[in-house]
Amino acid sequence: MADTERATPWPHARPDHPVQLLTHHALMLLAAAQRPDARIRELADAVGVTPRTAVNLLQDLERSGCLHRVRRGRRNHYTVHLDCPVVDPGSGMRTVRAFLTAFGRAGEDGGDRGW
């Protein structure tokens, strides 16, 4: 066995073929939670989608009640609703708060004001 094979903890790992474990909706929710005043282009870049797709994802999250958008001048401000129910069979996560907490993003005060 070659030294490089022994040093690799996962010899069958394929770094040229990574797997995306979270949906674009989940990634957009995380991005909006981290940067509530970000522009569409910035959120799109953070998630790895086009600006048009970012708009669609944000609209889906708004319609679900998990995200609220307020226009502030020429920008939007996003508020994540932490107690919004989510469907995630098998994970035990029942709210946006549980999802964001799993990723270390939920606010300490447990409020519903976003971040």
| Domain 24-103 belongs in CATH node 1.10.10.10 | yes
**Separation of alpha carbons 115 and 93, rounded Å:** 20
Selection from 81, 87, 46, 53 nearest residue 67 by Cα: 81
Q: Sorting pLDDT into bands at 50, 70 and 90, what band is 111?
A: very low
Report yes or no on whether pTM surpasses 0.85: no
Give exposure, 67-78, as e/b (b: 16+ Cβ within 10 Å). Answer: beeeeeeeebeb
Question: Quick one: average pLDDT of 31-42?
Answer: 95
> pLDDT value at position 90?
64
Which sequence spans correspond to the domains of the chain?
24-103
In this structure, what token pair is assigned to residue 78?
A: 């996003």
